[in-house]
Structure formats: structure tokens, C-alpha cells
Structure 1
Amino acid sequence: MVPEATQEQHPVTPAGTAPFLIGDRMTGGYGAADILHDCTVAVEKGEIAVIVGPNGAGKSTAMKAVFGMLNLRSGAVRLDGEDITTLSPQDRVAKGMAFVPQTSNIFTSMTVEENLEMGAFLRRDDIRGTMEQIYDLFPILRDKRRQAAGELSGGQRQQVAVGRALMTQPKVLMLDEPTAGVSPIVMDELFDRIIEVARTGISILMVEQNARQALEIADKGYVLVQGANAYTNTGRALLADPEVRRTFLGG
């Protein structure tokens, strides 16, 4: 039997098993207004955690808070046991975090290959092996590697954006609405590739508007409402919970 989703204000991690990445009880926003209210999101190594909820729930804000793009009034962000709350986004990249925003996430005038090379700007080693791994993951990018990224379809652009983030060899890959504006077929393909990335040991933290499909691939799901945790459980349990289905998944 699938357990019911738990409705909780403060998701609890058992003692001694701190998540690989956690934004712990985060409160903050832009300027004087708080958008997040004691919000917690976390992901384990090699797992997929998905943040879902209605429009305006604070999903992308939670993601940006974890990546250091807004100041927290309270709470903390920890990566592999290290407090990184005060680090800049650039310093978090150096620690092994990669963030793919929903829009403006590629260099449209550059070729596909140049975009991937830009992703490796912090590296001083040979990047060719990683680039081949990206091309194996997204074969269409190998075919179009000399083409300007701005000429690609929406789904292909997203593959470039994810590939560029993976060129940093991250420990955590953060994706903000990776399937926004793409067809259902392309969405399924992107989700399949995201599963492949997680299987290599990279943690995936993802905000998604396509909640039902995202929860189907999620090890852990967070339903946010007005910047606070409404439900937290495995993706499977959230999909099976009648209240979550009725309120957030359309029945």
C-alpha cells in the first residue's frame, strides 16, 4: 500500500542522515517582502527532488534561494554538510552546483559546441571527454554542434542549456521549469535524460509546472503553497494522495 502524503510545515530528516543538499527552513524574498516562509527543500545524492505547486507558490524563488540568488532572512543552505548560506552563486558553482534558469539559459549567437565550452569556463582540465558524454546523452546536439544555438527548437535549446550546466561536472543540477513550452513528446524525452543524469550520481533539484509527470520520476516531491511546505513525500505517495490529486493535479 502506498503511504499517504504527509502534510507538514517542517519536513524532518532523521538524525544522522542529513540530505546532500538542503535549503533548511528558508524565509526570505526580494526587498522587504518575504515570499518564502520557513520553507524546506532537499535532495539526496543521485536522486531527483521536484518542487511543484500553484502559480505564485514560490517554487522558483525557493530554487533561487538555494542557489544564493536572494538573501535569506532566516534559515540555511547546506551542501554535503557544509553551510554555504553566505556564498555567492559563483562560489556555489565552484562547490559543485549548477543552475539552469527557465529563460535566457543559452548564448543564442554561439554554436552549440561554443555553448558547451562556455559551461566549462571554471575548468582547467581536458573537457573533451565531458563533451562526448553530453553528445552521448543528447545525440541531436552532436549533429547540430556547428549550428547557432538560437536556430534550434525549444526542446533542443533546453538540451543545450542542460548540457552546458553538466560541463561543469556538477554534484547538483538545478532546473527551473525545464519542460516549459515544449511538446509532450519532448517533455518525456527530457525527463528520460534527467533520469539518466541522476543515475550517474548527480543530484537533481527541479521546479516543474507539469506536476503529475514530474512527480512520476521524483524520488521526493515538495508541494509549496504561498511559499511554505504544504505536502512533502515521495513522488509516488504524492501522486496517490487524494487531497494532493484533487487540489494540485486536477483530480
Structure 2
Amino acid sequence: MSFLIGENMTGGYGGSDILNGCTIAVEQGEIAVIVGPNGAGKSTAMKAIFGMLNLRHGQVRFKGADITALSPQQRVLAGMGFVPQTHNVFTSMSVEENLEMGAFIRRDDIRASLEQVYALFPVLKEKRRQPAGQLSGGQRQQVAVGRALMTQPQVLMLDEPTAGVSPIVMDELFDRIIEIARTGIAILMVEQNARQALNIADKGYVLVQGSNRFTDSGAALMANPEVRRSFLGG
């Protein structure tokens, strides 16, 4: 039984289905990556798993429980964190205020969690009094990931975490994602930079038109000639 699984998911927006029976799963401490061409349904699959899209068929199970009917807010309370691709920081609030907002569901002392985020992303400690809107794109992504970590999630879902950042910043973010997974948190990630993402993935899903085209370990997908030719540029 998978730690988190969206199974046989079919659904979309309005009357048209974007997902067509796809299955995505991730285990504790594992990095699972969803890749595929534009319009393949990658972000839609993530949103479905997080409860932002009603499924016509299929179900989502977390820690053995059926959570298909839960709202996104209820899924956060259950232990799921989600970082959207855009509009993922409060630009007029300081870095530290953004992180504190992430702890809104908690009633315990959050100082240790703040320090853990600052240890993971040292630049945020330097800029903790600065409005998040003044940060670079990569630093904003760090704030968004840090804020999600403040909820103490058991699963962290990242939608295009390296979109619009430089290759150096992308490598740094991937390094931090590996560190987070090593603490036992399950990472489920949609990523346009397929080659780099599969390089750090324990498990990879290649979606095409809302269906699973390939499912394997990251290393096996990187070595698959058809995957390389069709989705990784040769």
C-alpha cells in the first residue's frame, strides 16, 4: 500500500477530462517526479491529489485512508503540503512573516521549525525582515517551500519548483529537495526540467494526454531510449 496514491484518476475542468485514468504514488522519504510534454496533465494530476480538482473516477488515499472527498484545507491538516508554481508568496509581507503564515494550523512553539527552515535556506535568515516581493525568483521559491515545511507535512508537493530560475539556482533547489526527502518527507514534484528532475528521482512518471506512458525508477527512465528520444531531447 502506497503512502500517498492518486489511483486511476479521471477528471478535468468543465466537461472535458484532462486526466484519463492516471495513477501517481509516492512513498515516505522518496522523491517522485511527474514529467511529460506541455498539456500532458502534470499539474492537473497534482491538483487532483491535493483536492483542487474533483475526480469523476478514481480515488486518492493517504496513509491507507480514502481522502478523495477531503478539501485541500483538510488535506493540509492531514499532513500534506502544496507549493503552487506561481503566486506562492505574500509579496508585501516579510520573509519571516511568510514562514509564520505557514504555521497557521499549529498551536505549538514554531521557533525550532523556523530555525530548521533557516538552516535549509540560509539566505532566508539573512533576508528575514525583507519583503518577499523584493526577493529573486529562486529566493521566493525557497520562501514558498519553507512556508509549506512550517506546517510539518509528511508529503510535500511541488508544482514546477525551478520554473524561471537559473541553472545554478535549480541545482541548489534540487539539492535542498534531496535533503528534505532524507528527513523522511515524501516529495511529489512536477518539473519541466525533466532530465535534471529524473536524475534525483527515486520514481518517475511520464504522462501523455493525462495517462501514464512510462512509470519506472528515475535511473531506468533516464536510460530508456524511447523516453530519452521523445521526452529528454535524445
Q: Please tell me the TM-score bracket, short chain as reference.
A: over 0.9
Pick from 190, 211, 236 the counterpart of residue 173 of structure 2.
190
Moved over 6 A (4+): none
| Partner residue in 2 for 1:237 | 220
TM-score normalised by length of structure 2: 1.00
User: What is the percent sequence identity of the aligned residues?
Assistant: 79
Give distance in 2, aligned partners of 1:134 and 1:146.
15
Give distance in 2, aligned partners of 1:38 and 1:156.
36
CA drift of 1:149 comes to 0.3
Pick from 109, 127, 134 the counterpart of residue 151 of structure 1.
134
Verify: 1:169 aligned to 2:147, yes or no: no
Residue deviations 1:51-75, cap 9 Å, x none? 0000000000000000000100000
| Partner residue in 2 for 1:216 | 199
SS of residue paired to 1:72? coil
Give distance in 1, aligned partners of 2:90 and 2:34.
27
Verify: 1:62 aligned to 2:45, yes or no: yes
Query: Is there any run of 5+ residues in structure 2 with no aligned partner, and where?
Result: none
Give distance in 2, aligned partners of 1:170 and 1:185.
27
| Partner residue in 2 for 1:178 | 161
Give distance in 1, aligned partners of 2:202 and 2:136.
29
Verify: 1:132 aligned to 2:115, yes or no: yes
Query: Is there any run of 5+ residues in structure 1 with no aligned partner, and where?
Result: 1-17
TM-score normalised by length of structure 1: 0.93
CA drift of 1:176 comes to 0.1
Counting only pairs closer than 5 Å after superposition, residues 8-19 of structure 1 correspond to structure 2 as: 18-19=1-2
Give distance in 1, aligned partners of 2:32 and 2:209.
19
Pick from 102, 109, 123 the counterpart of residue 106 of structure 2.
123
Give distance in 1, aligned partners of 2:94 and 2:14.
38
Output the aligned Cα RMSD. 0.3
CA drift of 1:36 comes to 0.2
| Partner residue in 1 for 2:81 | 98
| Partner residue in 2 for 1:109 | 92
CA drift of 1:118 comes to 0.2
> Aligned partner of 1:225: which letter?
V
> Aligned partner of 1:200: which letter?
T
